Amino acid sequence: MLRILPHRAFIEPAVSIQRIDESGVGSTAILRVDGLLCSLCAANVNGRLEAVEGVQSVDVDLEEGIAAIMYDGERVGTSELIAAVEAAIVLKPVRRLLAWLGGRGA
């Protein structure tokens, strides 16, 4: 079922590291994904992360706006994980404009 969180349309899409535990093959990262708008967006982020070589598992939580990733820290770094999430964000220029307008009280 499609789930949409319309209030997030006014949040500029951004990705940041919330927590990381780099311990080689069993590394984990929690990425904060601000502006995650809908279940399709979450599925897109999930798919992009799963496609990164070295990623072992992914859990994207739409409600919390986070992506929990288990990965091989010897094969992939957090910069590649962040790039995959940023590539998954659709309509980024439009979303930035909405965030800017929302911040101006429009």
Residue 5 lies in a domain: no
Residue 66 lies in a domain: yes
Residue 60 lies in a domain: yes
Residue 6 lies in a domain: no
Which two three-digit tokens encode residue 36? Answer: 């995650």
Segment 25-47, tens digit of pLDDT: 899 999 999 988 889 989 999 99
- According to the model, what pLDDT value does residue 105 have? 53
Residue 101 lies in a domain: no
**pLDDT band for position 12 (50/70/90)?**
confident
Domain around 26:
12-93
CB neighbours of residue 103 within 10 Å: 11
Residue 58 lies in a domain: yes
Q: Are strands 14-21 and 27-34 parallel, antiparallel or unpaired?
A: antiparallel
What is the tally of structural domains in the chain? 1
Task: Indicate whether 106 pLDDT > 60.
Answer: no
Residue 98 lies in a domain: no
Q: Which CATH number is 61's domain given? A: 3.30.70.100
- According to the model, what pLDDT value does residue 21 have? 94
Segment 38-82, tens digit of pLDDT: 899 899 999 999 999 999 999 999 999 999 999 999 999 999 999
**pLDDT band for position 16 (50/70/90)?**
very high
- DSSP for 71-89, written as a single string: E-TTT--HHHHHHHHHHH-
Residue 47 lies in a domain: yes
